[in-house]
Structure 1
Amino acid sequence: MSTPIRLGTRRSALAQAQSGHVAAALEKVTGRAVELVPITSEGDTNRASLSEIGGLGVFATRLREALLAGRCDFLVHSLKDLPTAVPEGLVIAATPRREDARDVVLTRHGAPLHELGSGSTVGTGSPRRIAQVRRRAPQAEVVDIRGNVDSRLARVASGELDAVILAAAGLSRLGTDSPLKREELGLAEWPTAPGQGSLAVETRADAPEELREALSALDDHDTRLAVTVERAILEGLDAGCQAPMAAHARVEGAEIRIRTVVYAPDGGRRIGLDVTEALNGEYIHRNGSGNGADAADGAGPMHAARELGLAVARRLLDQGAADLVPREHPDFS
């Protein structure tokens, strides 16, 4: 009997659920068992605000250390929590098909977010969502919260909060069935974090070829194209994954459409771009399939997608985005 493939995962219910989906898919591909290896990340033990912790991989660093140390064979991350720089010795082997990338507002009585008035409380720990709430519901009070999905929903159900904002994909993966009322926020007016709704399957660069080939079978090409563009925008802005910015790209037929916005932390100002690029144009689909390819390979469609994202970031910076987002690598000179 073959040895199980070891999947490193955070201990949270959501992480275990999304890792379980990937494990089941890999078992179908390989015919081998996949066992979950729970790992505690800094983000699971540090209860400080996400805006205070920063975006330097608080949910990924411990997992990556375990992978490099040989304690597991591959990892599954929420892509929106993953820093844009991939450590030496590791590769993103697959990005499975993206689920719903939207945010969802959950309330007791179904009042839409924009109707929440003075005295209303909206819970979220994301600087991007905080800025968006301050634009959509300027009279409401934003409460900086942490905790798992169930604890956040409970704070609304109990009346402690009037609303919370969560990722639609997380609710779907958990199979959450809540009596709270849902308001899905459209991506045109409420774009979400780079990579939201997507998973990243990561392994060592020197992993057995058999494993890397099996993992690449889980890759969805259109998802990888889109998230490569989104994350390159974040990279080009030199901002962390908790920056008050949004980027969403989607493949539509022969085009890729990009919506990106950078917000002032107080929501008072924003800089946005809408870009459409032909997939058979200069940037995308020049060479190769891109299946399982690293976005930094230097050739092929994923390299081209990254270049497109960096070009969009430069346009944002030219319009003043650097004045709105905290830099991941501040200049101390």
Structure 2
Amino acid sequence: MTDQLRIGTRASALALAQTGSMADAIAAKTGREVEIVRITTEGDTSTESLKNVGGTGIFASALRHALLAGECDVVVHSLKDLPTAPADGLALAAVPKRADARDALCARDGLRLAQLPGGARVGTGSPRRRAQLRASRPDLEVVDIRGNVDTRLGRVGHDLDAVVLAAAGLSRLGRSDAITELLELSPWPTAPGQGALALETRAGDEKLVSALEHRTSRITVSAERGVLALLEAGCAAPVGASAMIEDGLLFLSARVYAVDGEHQLTSSHAAYVDDSADPAGEVSQRVARELLDLGAAELAPLGSSGAAEPTDASGAAG
């Protein structure tokens, strides 16, 4: 291996922005020269709904194939796009410091969610966001959409009154000015791992990017993703989760929604980080077990592929 580190990424604007920031950070911390390798995935070229082409695992699979084939040394994922099942021969080598995990409403005329008129058309490609919108405002018309961030924002004020996107993605693209309301995590939990990036390497090469590891972010996203894995919740399951560490205590809350948003189940638990060898695993097991005991498997479509929540061809949701 030369001193040059090759970073694989999807070629969307958001993926390139995320990868560019990671390339700069790696170069600054390690002194290595970095080359960005663009990789096209089926999710980038298909116009079908992600449910029909395999969920967001289609974004990760092409990057992982390139990594295993030696076409690059590390790949950058939006962590919410990464299936929870481990990949043979690969390692989640680093979770850098997480950005804002919240969803953002981008509406016409500066409107907030509560201010949208009855019948307003709100666009999203996420089953979780559809369920949350229906639960919060059953009088709205929720429209299934795809496309990159600019395409989605460009529809606001035309055929849509608003769209819901990830605050982190908007920030990374310099489009936070479009946000009219940040949806707080307690009433509006987001996809497990939202706002975080994942640096994946071949097993044994973790040291290439270990300098970017942020322990708190790793623990919180592991707790959130642990719930997703234990529920066997795939891309069609409306599941939100939010974890945080405060005063040494790991708090995790997860919510499962009926597809129509009419019913929901919530579980919240906590554990002291220093009292357990695996606090994320411990607390996620408690939360998942309680949700299943409450009837989550009957409420929502669980037991699917173990993939993450769908975004879109640009990663706009994530």
TM-score computed with the length of structure 1 as normaliser: 0.87
For the 8 Å contact 1:96–1:219, the answer to whether it is kept is yes
Q: Residues 284-304 of structure 1, C-alpha deviation per residue, up to 9 Å, x if partnerless?
A: 3x3xxxxxxxxxxxxxx3xx4
1:3 CA displacement = 4.0
Structure 1 segment 127-276 matched on structure 2, within 5 A: 127-157=127-157, 159-176=158-175, 178=177, 180-207=178-205, 212-276=206-270
**1:319 aligns to 2:294 (yes or no):** yes
Distance 1:243 1:33 in 2: 41
Task: Between 304-313 and 228-237, report the one with greater CA deviation.
Answer: 304-313
Q: Which residue of 1 aligns with 2:75?
A: 75
For the 8 Å contact 1:95–1:224, the answer to whether it is kept is yes
Runs of 5+ consecutive residues of structure 2 not aligned to the other structure: 306-318
Q: 1:29 to 1:173 in 2, by over 3 A?
A: same
Task: Between 226-235 and 241-250, report the one with greater CA deviation.
Answer: 241-250
The code of the aligned residue for 1:49 comes to S
1:218 CA displacement = 0.3
Q: Which residue of 2 aligns with 1:101?
A: 101
Distance 1:222 1:177 in 2: 25
For the 8 Å contact 2:56–2:81, the answer to whether it is kept is no
Q: 1:262 to 1:54 in 2, by over 3 A?
A: farther
Q: Which residue of 2 aligns with 1:16?
A: 16
Q: 1:108 to 1:165 in 2, by over 3 A?
A: same
1:150 CA displacement = 0.6
Runs of 5+ consecutive residues of structure 1 not aligned to the other structure: 287-300
1:49 CA displacement = 1.9
Q: Which residue of 2 aligns with 1:279?
A: 273
- Corresponding residue pairs, total: 305
Task: Between 310-319 and 272-281, report the one with greater CA deviation.
Answer: 272-281
Distance 2:54 2:116 in 1: 29
- Tell me the secondary structure at the aligned position of residue 59 of structure 1: helix
Q: Which residue of 1 aligns with 2:308?
A: none
The code of the aligned residue for 1:47 comes to T
For the 8 Å contact 2:123–2:142, the answer to whether it is kept is yes
The code of the aligned residue for 1:7 comes to I
Distance 1:44 1:310 in 2: 34
Distance 2:296 2:51 in 1: 19
Q: 1:320 to 1:328 in 2, by over 3 A?
A: closer
The code of the aligned residue for 1:172 comes to S
Structure 1 segment 116-135 matched on structure 2, within 5 A: 116-135=116-135
1:110 CA displacement = 2.0
The code of the aligned residue for 1:169 comes to A
Q: Which residue of 2 aligns with 1:293?
A: none
More RCO (CA 8 Å, sep 6+) = 2
Q: 1:22 to 1:39 in 2, by over 3 A?
A: same
Task: Between 319-328 and 12-21, report the one with greater CA deviation.
Answer: 319-328
Distance 2:251 2:96 in 1: 20
Distance 1:269 1:53 in 2: 28
Q: Which residue of 1 aligns with 2:315?
A: none
Distance 1:33 1:242 in 2: 40
Distance 1:87 1:252 in 2: 32
For the 8 Å contact 1:116–1:137, the answer to whether it is kept is no
Q: Residues 228-255 of structure 1, C-alpha deviation per residue, up to 9 Å, x if partnerless?
A: 1100100000011452000110111211
For the 8 Å contact 1:109–1:181, the answer to whether it is kept is no
Q: 1:103 to 1:63 in 2, by over 3 A?
A: same
Distance 2:163 2:13 in 1: 18
For the 8 Å contact 1:91–1:205, the answer to whether it is kept is yes
Q: 1:131 to 1:53 in 2, by over 3 A?
A: farther
The code of the aligned residue for 1:80 comes to K
Stretches (4+) displaced over 6 A? none
Calculate the aligned-residue CA RMSD, in Å. Answer: 1.8
